[in-house]
Structure 1
Amino acid sequence: MTGGCADAPRRDTTGRQVQRTLDARAAAVLRHDEAGYLAALDPSARQLKAAGRAEFANLTEMPLSSWEYLLTGVRRAGDRAVADAELRYRLDGYDPSPVTAARRLELAERNGRWYITADRPGRGGGQQLWQQGDVEVVRGTHSLVLGVGQEPARLRRIAADADRAVPAVTAAWGGAWAGRVVVVVPASLDAMGRLLGAPAEEYRGVAAVTTGSAAAPGRGGGPASADRVTVNPEAYGLLGELGRRVVLTHETAHVATRAHTSAATPLWLSEGFADWAAYRGSGQDPRRTAPELRRSVVRGDLPTALPADADFRFGGDSRALGRAYEGGWLACELIADRWGEERLRAFYRTVGAAGAREAAVESAFDKVLGTSPERFTADWREYVGERLAR
């Protein structure tokens, strides 16, 4: 009897080799090595090389402290491959954790090495700011403003607005946050949509939005995400001084509260607190700041329940959206007026730390405020009528 052994199956090392290409590209970004950055691109792809050269020049303006790729999947077909990866980066002095952007990379193998032939947003992702043009950077006292296609003077004004918003939010939230904000200003509404990976029409009339990752339920108070406040240059430009202050204070409040905001937090609370922080101490007449809800009150049509999450959707009935925001604001104002500002902060943190939406709010009403959802809703309806019918 003779024996023998079959050849062991060859192990596919494509993922490891692609990761090596991406690691080299990341290292080149951090050491400002244009040649190294371009070396990851297919030598025959002239158009891609030209775009890569422009992107690299824009990247050098950004104060990066880290840049890396995490490969999450590779599908190979001969000498071609498609890879899914997470781009993770931090802005020095501003990001407590990395920004994560989904990327889909197409690659080709040449002489035993993998080269990038296309780099696109992954599922749910958007274009990156440095892919939209020359990045202008303005540093404020408490802010970092990154703009494309904007006059430096305008970016400095936005930085000044953000610098006023940060201490206002610190006073409202109680100081337990990083105390700085990153503001992104694209060239247009369409460019804003590309950054956010959504139709631009969804943001028409919206002056700014905040993006970041909420904490997992039950983990309120965990590490804060690297939030970005993205300004719609068209809508923001139409605002007066008060409007700009309210918008940036509202969005900065989302940054401050992010570590205590989870899937257990209803939108009436997160959006209401942000508006409460923005209007706190302003002396504004609620009949002017809550016009849509006031119209309902004047008609004798008081809301029967606190706003649901679905009421905060963009792209639908703008008046209904206004009533939702105004109702959330007055709910938070009621808590601050009747129970005190510290109880409002404790209520927010308690809800965000809960494990499930269904029990979170009811439990917080009981433990923090000594009331029930039903009793609070009745009190809120009465408060709305009193504040808006005068």
Structure 2
Amino acid sequence: MAGLVAFAVLAVGAVSWLTLRDDAYVATPAGRTADALGPRAVDAALDRLEEAAAAGDAGSLQGTPADVVRNASLLRVRDLDLRLVDVLGRTDEGVRAAVDVTWRFGGFDVRPARTEVEMTFAADREDAVLTSVGGGDARSPLWLTGPVEARRSDRVLVLAAAGVDVGSVFSRAEAAVPVVRRVLRAWRPRLVVEVPGSAEGLGAALGAEDGQYDAVAAVTAAPDGSTAPDAPLHVFVNPEVLGSLGRRGAQVVMSHEATHVATRAPVTTQPLWLLEGFADYVALRDVDLPLTTTAGQVIEQVRRDGLPGDLPGPVEFDTATTHLGATYEAAWLACVVLAERAGESGLVDLYRAAARLGLEDALRDVADWDEAALTRAWRSRLADLAGLSD
């Protein structure tokens, strides 16, 4: 038995030695190329980048490292931590690595974000040098992927890829704050808006499947995908879609997303129709448009297909659906019906109570209704608008 134990210990030691053994832990000989890069060289490159970002000094850095350091200073990045997870593979230029990145934007994010990011490193004599960030299925945080522009106030921070009109986005974000606070008076805004250069860049920032957000103007999410109650929440803008909207439409989108931030919608548990309908209720509250316009798509859908049986759910809110606009309008109209029943303050109370108590209990306590009664009233309103009989 003692011999078997000794063999087991020896085997573990051998495995550990083989696992840790790496030729790159020896200084890279002159003339060796990317095939010599290993974990130690990548770790050292990450340490240098982290130190430069903390000091706010790009120094003699060029390319991607210089962009990262300048962005970190511009955005007041705090709690930055870069840790190598694994070397994923080698290319002609260098090595691809998975890196665990932790960061927050000072003055706006209370809790840091943390996500795994793919980075590429090239050999520079015996050192590794970061050459690009992004790729694969991992998220690609905007501030790490290239130079950004930023505008800030004490309540709004907008960061955008080079070439984006950051000023117009900042103006809409600033204008969204009083829109939200007219309904949610207790909100103390710390609104962060990120604008990649394209729909593809939006998908990369969110780690989304190709094309998932191509038709979406903006989305509110944690930059690391977290659903923790205290996760940082940012608005991510699709510049191609938002730029195609008129001035009023783009403002409604921004106010809608700011409402999601104020209510922390992505990390709560209300039904989707309530989350999205409430955000539209806030965004459209003071917009002077007739119901035939703000509910035009759902009215047309009802005239074509008849009245829906139920309030919209996850299937209707799928970003791939062809009737997404009508779904949002239907959800908004349900919240209008609730506000008419319980008052605006009642709608706010119901929204908050639904996360704690569930929808049925919240409806009973705030509006003296159940979901069936709400659905009947909502269908009746749809029927009236469409000129049908419920």
Tell me if TM exceeds 0.5: yes
**Within the alignment, does 1:256 sit opposite 2:267 as a pair?**
no
Partner of 1:32: 56
**Within the alignment, does 1:101 sit opposite 2:115 as a pair?**
yes
- Paired residues for 1:111-122 under 5 Å: none
Name stretches of at least 5 consecutive residues in structure 2 with no aligned partner.
Answer: 1-5, 22-38, 90-94
SS, match of residue 166 in structure 1: helix
1:100 CA drift (Å): 2.6
1:253 CA drift (Å): 0.7
1:187 to 180, 194, 197: 197
Residues 33, 345 of structure 1: alpha-carbon distance in 2 compared, 3 angstrom cutoff? same
Name stretches of at least 5 consecutive residues in structure 1 with no aligned partner.
Answer: 39-48, 217-221, 355-359
1:66 CA drift (Å): 2.5
**2:377 partner letter:** D
- Paired residues for 1:287-366 under 5 Å: 287-299=292-304, 301-317=306-322, 320-354=323-357, 360-366=358-364
Which whole-Å CA distance do the structure 2 matches of 1:388 and 1:284 have between them? 17
2:174 to 156, 163, 169: 163
What per-residue deviation string (whole Å, max 9, x for no partner) do you get for residues 315-360 of structure 1?
Answer: 232xx22221111111111111210112211221122235xxxxx2
**1:146 partner letter:** L
Is the 1:142–1:162 contact (alpha carbons within 8 Å) kept by the matching residues of 2? no
Partner of 1:43: none
Decide which moves more: 338-347 or 296-305.
Answer: 296-305
Partner of 2:220: 210
**1:266 partner letter:** P
1:233 to 215, 236, 239: 239
Percent sequence identity is: 30
Which whole-Å CA distance do the structure 1 matches of 2:268 and 2:159 have between them? 29
What per-residue deviation string (whole Å, max 9, x for no partner) do you get for residues 28-71 of structure 1?
Answer: 322124479x7xxxxxxxxxx85334433443332223312467
Partner of 1:60: 73
1:84 CA drift (Å): 5.6
Is the 1:88–1:101 contact (alpha carbons within 8 Å) kept by the matching residues of 2? yes
**1:302 partner letter:** L
Is the 2:156–2:191 contact (alpha carbons within 8 Å) kept by the matching residues of 1? yes
1:23 CA drift (Å): 6.0
1:313 CA drift (Å): 0.9
Q: How many residues align?
A: 355
1:269 CA drift (Å): 1.0
**Larger relative contact order (Cα-Cα within 8 Å, sequence gap ≥ 6):** 1
**Within the alignment, does 1:126 sit opposite 2:136 as a pair?**
no
Partner of 1:274: 279
1:368 CA drift (Å): 2.7
Is the 2:310–2:375 contact (alpha carbons within 8 Å) kept by the matching residues of 1? yes
User: What's the TM-score, normalizing by structure 2?
Assistant: 0.76
Which whole-Å CA distance do the structure 1 matches of 2:347 and 2:353 have between them? 10
